[in-house]
A and B are shown apart, each in its own frame.
Chain A
Amino acid sequence: MTKKQATKRKVKDAKPTKEQESVSEQSEQEEDEDLLQAVKDPGEDSTDDEGIDQEYQSDSSEDLEFESDEEGNYLGVKENNAEESEEDGEEEEDEEGDSSEEESEDNAETAKSEEKPSGSKAVQEPKKLIGEITPRDPSKPEYADSDTSDEEDIRNTVGNIPMHWYDEYKHIGYDWDAKKIVKPPKGDQIDDFLRKIEDPNFWRTVKDPQTGQEVLLTDEDIALIKRVNSARIPNPEHNEYEPWIEWFTSEVERMPIKNVPDHKRSFLPSVSEKKKVSRMVHALKMGWMKTTEEVERAKQQKRGPKFYMLWETDTGREHMRRIHDPVSAPKRDLPGHAESYNPPPEYLFDEKETKQWLKLKDEPHKRKLHFMPQKFKSLREVPAYSRYLRERFLRCLDLYLCPRAKRVKLNIDAEYLIPKLPSPRDLQPFPTVESLVYRGHTDLVRSVSVEPKGEYIVSGSDDKTVKIWEIATGRCIRTIETDDVVRCVAWCPNAKLSIIAVATGSRLLLVNPKVGDKLIIKKTDDLLAEAPSQDVIENERIKTAVQWSTAEAAEQEKGVRVVITHFKPIRQVTWHGRGDYLATVMPEGANRSALIHQLSKRRSQIPFSKSKGLIQCVLFHPVKPCFFVATQHNIRIYDLVKQELIKKLLTNSKWISGMSIHPKGDNLLVSTYDKKMLWFDLDLSTKPYQTMRLHRNAVRSVAFHLRYPLFASGSDDQAVIVSHGMVYNDLLQNPLIVPLKKLQTHEKRDEFGVLDVNWHPVQPWIFSTGADCTIRLYT
């Protein structure tokens, strides 16, 4: 305590009123008790209460004083008493020091009120505010409107919070319109004092802690407060001493309901309990044992704020303390009835099952059960598990061989990996049904080719004939017999010429089919009739490989016009788009296996001096002067003008069977005997853009449609598969490939199915030739 305070107290005490003295004398006896009370209920000592108390105190109303005297436990007085007693104690100190200072009691009071702000503020209200004070109408019952606390007239909306939070602000809270409730201006002490002198009602003016306004207490209020203070029932109308109604008899009945005399232990205190209690008391004293509250508190402290597991699940892998990332043993199924030592009889193997079980000795994984159910009379008779050691050993082996490197397992839905392809329905038209079968050949049909106008087709067969068919009716218009197996036929793509190139044995026949425009037929005949004069002396190497000759009369009759005799059997013949050049392939020709013939000059060239492998097929680029040569494994693209290799495509397959180029010339389709189809985007890379494994057997032939975004493949599994192959002009967009339809109507003959496929030049129709001697049209 500072000296100043001490002196203040002394000043206060220096002029005690007589009444107070008497009170102090009285209260001195009760000091202990009161102190105890004060310490016991520190919570009660809220500022509000104190404020009120102080008012009473400062009012020094005699009535109140008397009241407190009578009851002795009136809080305000009690505190006052306590203070006084304290001050009594201090008096001695004061006596020691000087005590001459005498000031007015009021000064001291004001100083005190400053210390206790909220309580005493009411006192300091300036006068002008008093007008606002609205005393409650005493005639009206307090809860006439409503008696529920919910509908209490709350002017300040800040709620039940310590009001000192607003100490530093100019406002005290907010009203219902969310406007600030301004604190009434603080008057100084002199104002306060003047009010106290002037206002007769000053003592009964209290401050509403919510609004900061002053409220004038009515007589009823004061009476109520007095009654409460004196620990009487607040309602004066209440009669404490109502006449007693005896609901239950107090007389002892003569005949009790139960006549068993009370047991002795019911009136003797239990020794064991006593012991227990004394033990517990001892434990409490020694601090071994804690009371429930202590335990509770300790728990609360220990628990701290509560957190919940958010991400980890209970099914996650458990962690082992020492072993990082353990390999847990595979989870086994829970044992069933068959595993029981005493299984129900239906689980036991009968003879047949036993035999079956024993038979699968070599492949135990095929057994239905990995053990034979056995029956024992009791658990005692169950022998030790005979395979225990072995299984432990195997587990150890497993662990030993288990890869320690952690493999990241991707959890991807298989559906997700399938690219989003358009529905085939949206990609119409494409061939869907077999429409016509062209029958007439007697051996497998190797090759088919369509007239550029799309009215006729030509087919070459192993029965040594070439047949020309009318597409629309399936009528065989002409049959041309040759001397050898017809390996390949190709209709000249130039519509102004009427020529079919027929590769039969080692001869290449240029045949005029004599169908279509008569004028063109005649012109073609004229063109092929006379050989142009040879101005260039031919190389010996070429001469030994190829001889040109005009067909003889017998063959002329059949339509054959020119014969180009090669030195080895021809496997393939293909035209250049203009119809002047054609290329032939003789797989056995070593370094002369590919030849290019020029029709107009009747000249042949051998483009390659070295053999890079067994040439399978060749192809002219539709636009550029490029030449595609497929050996067994790779495809080389040569520039025919510069005579150099442009690119080598790596197919990564064992044996190429055929290829077809997209009419725009940027995409190449390759079929292989190892069941694959490869789509090369020539601008993209030398590796396949896409590998399609649609067929179940060797793919023999592929073909692009000239107009529609379609391609087809024929395979030894007798199927023709039609696919959508859209190539976009936008170089950044990859080709779209959608398999559309599997057409499987060819019959199987000696492992062969479909040998060749070819598109109609205009319609979305496809022709396929098969080993079953037929050509089929799908529309």
Chain B
Amino acid sequence: MEAENGEGQVQVHLKTKQEHYAVPDVPYAIEGSVATNELNIFLNALLQKQGSDGVDFDFLVFDEYLRGRLCDHLREKAISFEDAIEIEYVERFPAPEPQDCLLHDDWVSAVKARDKWILTGCYDNTINIWTNKGKHKLTIPGHTAPIKAVDWISLDEQYGRFVSSSQDQTAMLWQWNIDSNAVECISVCKGHERGVDSVSVSPDGQRFATGSWDTMLKLWSAELEDSAEGTSKRAKESGVRTPKLTLQGHRESISAVQWIDGQTLLTGSWDHTLKVWDLNLEGIKTEISTNKSIFDASYSSLNKLIVTASADKNLRLYDSRTNQGSVVRNTYLGHNAWVQAVMWSTTEEFLFVSGAYDNQNKLWDCRSPKAPLYDLLGHGEKVLDIDWSNPKYIVSGGSDNTVRVFKSKKANVEHMETK
């Protein structure tokens, strides 16, 4: 009866993977009604870190974040109060801080950050380059229709190369001379029959893939010189590039493309499927059928999972390694509108960000399906794209004509060193 009210005591083991926060593995009897705050105080006391400057921890009980009282959590998971419960604690991920707001002339539909540069694609048919300090560097006109996606190919001290795709059915390859701040269109990739919605550059920077409204997935060379055979001289001179490979399989618009490795591609489509393509076989390796149109999909190389965004407010977690039907590993409910963009962290195994039409970005831990870690507020309108490829910055663009930059405070570098 006591346990029912959450008044009973529970035996817990405290564990962590961060060794410098380890406490002796002794069972503690604590009240069932404790929440994260009390556990934090308790743990800090154990670590002899007094006062408010103690480290904040999050607690994982059976691989899920503790969000309410411990007893409620246990009851929900149908775990006996009499078992010794293992609580894993991790240092709480610090809240990202809004850093900058980059004003554009029109809706920003594509953002991509690399090192200190932020590349944005705009509905006024221009591409913009910004520094991460919020300084506008360059506006590149060239497309004849709104830009839908951008991606960096390479970036060094002197040159930056990137690709942009647009509703004008083309993707464009650009080379940007950083010093002279001049941009040159290397080639125009023509071949799609409708707007190109997504673009992704291969990890080695040799190729890029585009997904379009004409349901095709096309592969292009990202080299400076198109070495493909059979390209006519005239085409070479005009800088028009044709696809190296066209893959047909989706029945509707491809909304997301991502390279898994050098020879594998992940695509998400409005036809409710996720497909993994093997480029050696030039065919589909795995297909995951879902029951919602997928607007964005992201694959994490750290935990090999796929997270998808769809119109029903939910983010869903899939595992591409299981190919038996639709296996939703988890559902993340927190947005209250159409979710347009999602992306995994490149350094944190469990974290991902999402942007939705409820004007919010959210930072999620995949072990906390009920509530996001943080809401990143700032946009006044729909969020159209979000990017976290630079671990230090979460960048999002929206239909309020702005790009918001959130600084992720966690010293990732330091953390990686400790690893």
Contacts and interface: CB of A to CB of B under 8 A. Distances in A.
Given A473-B399, A779-B338, A763 B193 contact: no
Given A435-B338, A453-B194, A455-B195, A475 B214 contact: no
A472 interface: yes
Nearest to A435: B338
B313 A433 contact: yes
A429 B252 CA distance: 17
Contacts of A428: 291
Contacts of B107: 473, 475
A762 interface: yes
A429 B194 contact: no
Nearest to B195: A455
A159 interface: no
A419 to B, nearest CB: 27
A606 interface: no
A436 B338 contact: yes
B123 interface: yes
A453 to B, nearest CB: 7
Nearest to B107: A475
Given A435-B357, A473-B382, A473-B399, A519 B252 contact: no
Given A429-B291, A762-B252, A473 B214 contact: no
Interface string A449-469: 000011100000000000000
Contacts of B202: none
A519 B270 contact: no
Given A435-B338, A436-B338, A518-B169, A453 B312 contact: no
A435 B311 contact: yes
B174 interface: no
Interface in A723-774: 762-763, 765
A517 interface: yes
Given A453-B194, A455-B194, A762 B270 contact: yes
A474 interface: yes
A516 interface: yes
B213 interface: yes
A: contact size bracket: 20 to 34
Contact of A455 (B253, B271, B292, B312): B253
B295 A472 contact: yes
B213 A453 contact: yes
Nearest to B253: A455
Contact of B194 (A436, A474, A475, A517): A517
A513 to B, nearest CB: 13
B293 interface: yes
Nearest to A437: B357
Interface in B137-173: 146, 168-169
Interface residues of B, number: 29
Contacts of B293: 763
A435 B313 CA distance: 9
Contact of A433 (B169, B270, B312): B312
- Tell me which of B194, B311, B312 has the highest count of chain A C-beta atoms within 10 A of its own C-beta: B311
A475 B291 contact: no
B384 interface: yes
Interface string B356-368: 0100000000000
B214 A517 contact: yes
Contacts of A435: 311, 337-338, 357
Contact of B384 (A454, A473, A517): A473
B194 A779 contact: no
B214 to A, nearest CB: 7
A326 to B, nearest CB: 63
A427 to B, nearest CB: 12
Interface string B333-344: 000011010000
Contacts of B126: none
Contacts of B253: 454-455
B357 A436 contact: yes
Nearest to A517: B193
A572 B118 CA distance: 50
A19 to B, nearest CB: 100
B401 interface: no
B325 to A, nearest CB: 16
A517 B295 contact: no
Contacts of A472: 295, 340
Contacts of B291: 428-429
Contacts of B338: 435-436, 779
Interface in B265-281: 270-271
A587 B394 CA distance: 58
Interface in B373-416: 382, 384, 399
A475 B401 CA distance: 13
B382 A779 contact: no
B198 interface: no
Contacts of A474: 382, 399
Contacts of B123: 475
Nearest to B251: A762
- Tell me which of A455, A472, A779 has the highest count of chain B C-beta atoms within 10 A of its own C-beta: A472
Contacts of B399: 473-475
B109 interface: yes
B312 A779 contact: yes
Contacts of A453: 194, 213
Contact of A763 (B146, B195, B270, B337): B270
A478 to B, nearest CB: 11
B100 to A, nearest CB: 24
Contacts of A518: 168-169
Contact of B213 (A429, A455, A519, A765): A455
A779 to B, nearest CB: 4
Contacts of A779: 311-312, 338
A471 to B, nearest CB: 10
A475 B400 CA distance: 12
Interface string B307-350: 00001110000000000000000000000011010000000000
B175 to A, nearest CB: 26
Interface string A505-526: 0000000000011110000000
Nearest to A428: B291
A778 to B, nearest CB: 10
Contacts of B292: 429
Contacts of A455: 194-195, 213, 253
Interface string B192-217: 01110000000000000000011000
Interface string A279-322: 00000000000000000000000000000000000000000000
Given A433-B312, A436-B357, A517 B169 contact: yes
A324 B311 CA distance: 71
B189 to A, nearest CB: 15
Interface in B243-299: 252-253, 270-271, 291-293, 295
Contacts of B311: 435, 765, 779
Contacts of B194: 453, 455, 516-517
A454 B253 CA distance: 9
A453 B252 CA distance: 9
Interface string B202-242: 00000000000110000000000000000000000000000
Nearest to A474: B382
Given A455-B194, A517-B214, A762-B252, A473 B337 contact: no
Contacts of B312: 432-433, 779
A519 B214 CA distance: 13
A569 to B, nearest CB: 36
A519 B169 CA distance: 11
27 contacts: A428-B291, A429-B291, A429-B292, A432-B312, A433-B312, A435-B338, A435-B357, A453-B213, A454-B252, A455-B194, A455-B253, A473-B340, A473-B399, A474-B382, A474-B399, A475-B107, A475-B123, A475-B399, A516-B194, A516-B213, A517-B169, A517-B214, A762-B252, A762-B270, A765-B311, A779-B312, A779-B338
Closest 3 pairs between A and B when the two form their complex, measured CB to CB = A779-B311, A435-B338, A517-B193
Given A474-B382, A475-B123, 7 more contacts: A429-B291, A436-B338, A454-B253, A473-B384, A517-B193, A517-B194, A763-B293
